[in-house]
A and B are shown apart, each in its own frame.
Chain A
C-alpha cells in the first residue's frame, strides 16, 4: 500500500516549508515595507497565500484529487509539457540549493567564520538524497520530529513580556518611510513554499481534512509564528532599531541570559538549519517529481542524483551572500508568479475540459 500523508503532517509540512530563516529578519522587512506597526502588514500579506491555497484547494476539489500532470494532459500535449516541467524542476532545485547556501553563508558570517558553505551544502544534499529517494511519506515523518525539535524555541520569545512596551507600538499605523512593493514582495517570499503542495494530491489520505490542514498550516505560520514574533519585536525594539538591525529576532535572542548559558541565538539559529533543511528537501522533492515526469525513462534514485549534481554546480555561480540574496530575490519573484499562476492555469484547464466534455456528451446525446 502506498503510504499517504495524514492531515496533521500536511499542516506541519506547510509550516515547515514556509517558515525559514527569513523569520529572523521579518520584523525589519515588515518595518521597511509598512513603517510603524508593520506587524499588522504581515497579517495582511498572509491573505495572499491564503487565497493561493484556496485556489490550490479548488484545483484539488474540481480536479477530483488527480495529479497536476493528469490535469495538464487533458488539454496540452505531453511534448509541450515536458520542457515546461523540466524548467520548473531546475528552478525548484536551484531555489532549494540557494536556500541551503544562504543559510550556510549566514551561519559563516554570524557565528562560524571558518565554516565552508560547501561542507554544509554537502551534508544538506546527503539529507536531500536520503529523504527524497525514500519518498514523501518519509519526508513527512522526519518533518514531524523536526517540528517538535524546533517549535519550542519560539516560546523563548515569551521571556520578553517584561520588556514589552505598548508605547513602542505607537498609535500611528503604517507611518514612516515605506517600500510597499519591493519589501512587501519580500514578506510574501517569507510565506512561499506552500505552492509545492499542488504536487502532493496523490499522497493525501483524507481529502477534506487535508484541505483544511493546508489552511491551518498557513494560519499557524502567520498567527502563531510570524505575527506574534513581529509583534514582540515591534514592542521590544524601537522602530529605528528594527529598521537598522539585519536580524532583529536574533538581536532579541542575544539578550536572553540563563544562569548557566547565554547568547543562545547561535544554538537556536543552528537548530533552524533543520527547518531550512525541510524547505530544501521539499523543493528538491518537487523538482524530482516534475523532472521524472519530463524524463519518464529515468530511475527514481538516479533522477535525484542528477538534480543534486547539476544544482550543486550552479550553486557555485553566486559566491557571496549578497549574490545569493539577489538570486533568491529574483527566483522568489518567479516563484511567486508560479505559485499564483499554476493553480489558476490548472483551474482554467479543468474548466475548459469540463465544458468540452459536456459539449461532447450533449453532441453524442443528439446523435444518439
Chain B
C-alpha cells in the first residue's frame, strides 16, 4: 500500500517536475516571458499601443524599416478594437504558441506582436548583405566573375540560376547550439550516389558544436582525417565551380553567413583544377593544368633539392655553374639546411604579412621583402643568391595552386622535405616523397579515395584529370552518365 502510494505520489511529482522543466525550457510566448528572455538587451525595441492592447518587440536594425512602417506601424496606428481580429487574420501574420520559435524569429529579424493571449510573428527581415561581387581568393581571367556572399539565400539562388533542374534537391540543417547557422545540402538526385548523401546527412546530424562561423570551419567537422595536412573537402567562393560539382554527381553545402561553399567527395585534383581550364581552348587548358601539377612538385621539392645538392651531392652541379655556386655559398656561415629554413620562414612571414595588410601596403611588403631583404641578405652574407632564386620559384609555384587551403598545406609539407634533404640528401627527398604518397593514398573524402582516378586507377577518367580533354569528349550526355556510373562504381 505504502509502495503504491509512493509510486503514485512520486510518479505524479516526477511528471509535474518534468512538465515544469519543459515549461521552463519552452515557456508560452507571452510578452513578459520574452521580455525576461531578452532582459539586459539594450538593443531591443519595444513598442506599445495601450489603447488597443498591442505590444511589439523587434530589433530595429534587423527589420526592413520602410516596409514595416508602411505595412504594419501606420496601419496599427489607425486600428480600433473591432478591426484587430480581421487585421491579424492576414497571411503575413503567423500565430505561434511556441516560445522557442518566437525567440528564434525575433533573433532572425522579425517583429513579434502580442495581443491579449496571442503572439504573432510578422516577417520583416532585412539583413544588410554584401552585393554579389567578384571572387577575391579565386580570380579567373575568362568566365563568370560572380562569387558567393554571406547571404545563404543569395548563394542558393546563384546555384539555382545555373542548375535549373527539379532534380536539384536541398536539405536544411541548423548547426551550432548558440550560433544556429542554416546549412543547405544540395545534390542532383540521379547523379549523386545515395550512399554518399546518407553518409553526409549522418555526419551533419552528428555535429555537436556551440558556435561555428564559416564553411571552412564546418568542413573540418565532417572530414574523415582531421589530423592530415591535406584538406579533404573542397571549398570555394565560386558558384560556377559549385554548379559544375553538382553536375559531376557531388554533394555541395552552403552555410549562412559564409561566402564559401563546400563540395564532397573531393579528390586531390579538385584542388589543382581551375575553372579557367574549361574556359580556355582544350590545348591551352591542358598545358596549364600540366604546368600546375609540375608546380606542385616544384614547390614541394625545389628548395629541398638545393639543400640536398649543396650538402651532399655537389657532383650534380654542372662544371660551369659550380664556381658561381661555390662563390655564392662561400660567404654564408650557415649550413644549407639552416640557410634554406631561414629563407623559407622569411617568405612565409612575408606572405602572411602581405595577406593580412591592406592591398596597397601588402604590395609594399612584397617589394620590401622580395627585393630589399632579398638582395640585402645576399650582400650581408646570410644567404646565397642561388637559394633566393630557388625559394622564390618555389614560393611562386605554390601560388599557382588555385585552392588557398591546398597551397597552404603544400607550403607546410615543404619544410618536412627540406629537413629530410638536410639529413639524408636525395634519399631523404625520396623518402619524403614516399611519405607524401603514403599520406595521400591513405586519405579518403566521404569514403572516396583521395587520389581517384589515378590510384585506384581508372584511365577512362584521366581525360579530365591530368589534362583537360576537348569539351565534346567530356561534356556530352553519354559521358555524364558514364561518369556517374564510373564514379558510383569506383569511388570506394
Given contacts A6-B456, A9-B457, A266-B425, 18 further A-B contacts (CB under 8 A): A107-B427, A112-B312, A120-B431, A123-B431, A130-B442, A131-B438, A134-B442, A141-B449, A142-B437, A142-B438, A144-B457, A148-B454, A258-B318, A260-B318, A270-B426, A274-B430, A274-B433, A277-B434
Write out the residue numbers on chain A whose beta carbons fall within 8 Å of the beta carbon of B321: 260
Partner of B431, one of A8, A257, A267, A273: A273
Residue B315 lies at the interface, judged by CB distance under 8 Å to chain A: yes
Q: What CA separation (Å) do A144 and B457 show in the bound complex?
A: 8
**B430 touching A142 by the CB < 8 A rule?**
no
Q: What CA separation (Å) do A9 and B313 show in the bound complex?
A: 35
Q: What CA separation (Å) do A255 and B433 show in the bound complex?
A: 26
Tell me how many residues of B have a C-beta within 8 Å of chain A: 30
Q: Which residue of chain A lies nearest to B458 when distances are taken between CB atoms in the complex?
A: A6
**B316 touching A263 by the CB < 8 A rule?**
yes
Write out the residue numbers on chain A whose beta carbons fall within 8 Å of the beta carbon of B312: 111-112
Residue B130 lies at the interface, judged by CB distance under 8 Å to chain A: no
Write out the residue numbers on chain B whose beta carbons fall within 8 Å of the beta carbon of A259: 318
Write out the residue numbers on chain A whose beta carbons fall within 8 Å of the beta carbon of B440: 145
Write out the residue numbers on chain B whose beta carbons fall within 8 Å of the beta carbon of A138: 441-442
Partner of A6, one of B427, B430, B433, B457: B457
Residue B429 lies at the interface, judged by CB distance under 8 Å to chain A: yes
Q: Which residue of chain B lies nearest to A142 when distances are taken between CB atoms in the complex?
A: B441
**B317 touching A127 by the CB < 8 A rule?**
no
Among the interface residues B424, B429, B430, which one has the most CB atoms of the partner chain A within 10 A? B430
Q: Mark B435-448 against chain A: 1 for CB-CB distance below 8 A, else 0.
A: 10110111000000
Residue A262 lies at the interface, judged by CB distance under 8 Å to chain B: yes
Give the shortest distance, in Å, between B279 (CB) and chain A (any CB).
Answer: 28
Give the shortest distance, in Å, between B372 (CB) and chain A (any CB).
Answer: 28
Q: What CA separation (Å) do A141 and B490 show in the bound complex?
A: 13
**A266 touching B315 by the CB < 8 A rule?**
yes
Q: Mark A240-262 against chain B: 1 for CB-CB distance below 8 A, else 0.
A: 00000000000000000111111
Residue A1 lies at the interface, judged by CB distance under 8 Å to chain B: yes
Give the shortest distance, in Å, between A23 (CB) and chain B (any CB).
Answer: 16
**B427 touching A274 by the CB < 8 A rule?**
no
Residue B492 lies at the interface, judged by CB distance under 8 Å to chain A: yes
Q: Mark A112-144 against chain B: 1 for CB-CB distance below 8 A, else 0.
A: 100100011001000100110010001011101
**B433 touching A261 by the CB < 8 A rule?**
no
Write out the residue numbers on chain B whose beta carbons fall within 8 Å of the beta carbon of A344: none
Residue B451 lies at the interface, judged by CB distance under 8 Å to chain A: yes
Residue A146 lies at the interface, judged by CB distance under 8 Å to chain B: yes
Residue A185 lies at the interface, judged by CB distance under 8 Å to chain B: no
Q: Which residue of chain A lies nearest to B423 when distances are taken between CB atoms in the complex?
A: A119
**A263 touching B315 by the CB < 8 A rule?**
yes
Write out the residue numbers on chain A whose beta carbons fall within 8 Å of the beta carbon of B441: 138, 141-142, 145
Interface residues of B, Cβ cutoff 8 Å to A: 312-313, 315-318, 321, 424-427, 429-431, 433-435, 437-438, 440-442, 449, 451, 454-457, 459, 492
Q: What CA separation (Å) do A127 and B459 show in the bound complex?
A: 27
Partner of B451, one of A119, A145, A149, A267: A145
Write out the residue numbers on chain A whose beta carbons fall within 8 Å of the beta carbon of B435: 127
Q: What CA separation (Å) do A130 and B492 show in the bound complex?
A: 20
Write out the residue numbers on chain B whose beta carbons fall within 8 Å of the beta carbon of A8: 457, 459
Give the shortest distance, in Å, between B304 (CB) and chain A (any CB).
Answer: 12
A and B contact pairs by CB, cutoff 8 A, 29 listed = A1-B492, A3-B492, A6-B457, A8-B459, A9-B456, A111-B426, A112-B424, A112-B425, A112-B427, A119-B424, A120-B431, A138-B441, A138-B442, A141-B449, A141-B455, A144-B454, A145-B441, A145-B454, A149-B433, A149-B437, A258-B318, A260-B321, A263-B313, A266-B313, A266-B315, A266-B426, A267-B426, A273-B434, A274-B434
Write out the residue numbers on chain B whose beta carbons fall within 8 Å of the beta carbon of A58: none
Partner of A142, one of B318, B424, B455: B455
Given A112-B427, A149-B433, A266-B313, does the pair A127, B318 have CB atoms closer than 8 Å? no
Write out the residue numbers on chain B whose beta carbons fall within 8 Å of the beta carbon of A273: 427, 430-431, 434
Q: What CA separation (Å) do A131 and B434 show in the bound complex?
A: 11
Residue A91 lies at the interface, judged by CB distance under 8 Å to chain B: no
Residue A271 lies at the interface, judged by CB distance under 8 Å to chain B: yes
Partner of B316, one of A120, A140, A142, A261: A261
**A111 touching B425 by the CB < 8 A rule?**
yes
**A140 touching B430 by the CB < 8 A rule?**
no
Give the shortest distance, in Å, between A75 (CB) and chain B (any CB).
Answer: 36
Residue A264 lies at the interface, judged by CB distance under 8 Å to chain B: yes
Q: What CA separation (Å) do A120 and B428 show in the bound complex?
A: 9
Q: What CA separation (Å) do A145 and B438 show in the bound complex?
A: 9
Q: What CA separation (Å) do A130 and B430 show in the bound complex?
A: 17
Q: What CA separation (Å) do A68 and B103 show in the bound complex?
A: 68
**B318 touching A261 by the CB < 8 A rule?**
yes
Give the shortest distance, in Å, between B159 (CB) and chain A (any CB).
Answer: 33
**B455 touching A145 by the CB < 8 A rule?**
yes
Give the shortest distance, in Å, between A153 (CB) and chain B (any CB).
Answer: 12
**B427 touching A270 by the CB < 8 A rule?**
yes
Partner of B434, one of A119, A134, A146, A260: A146
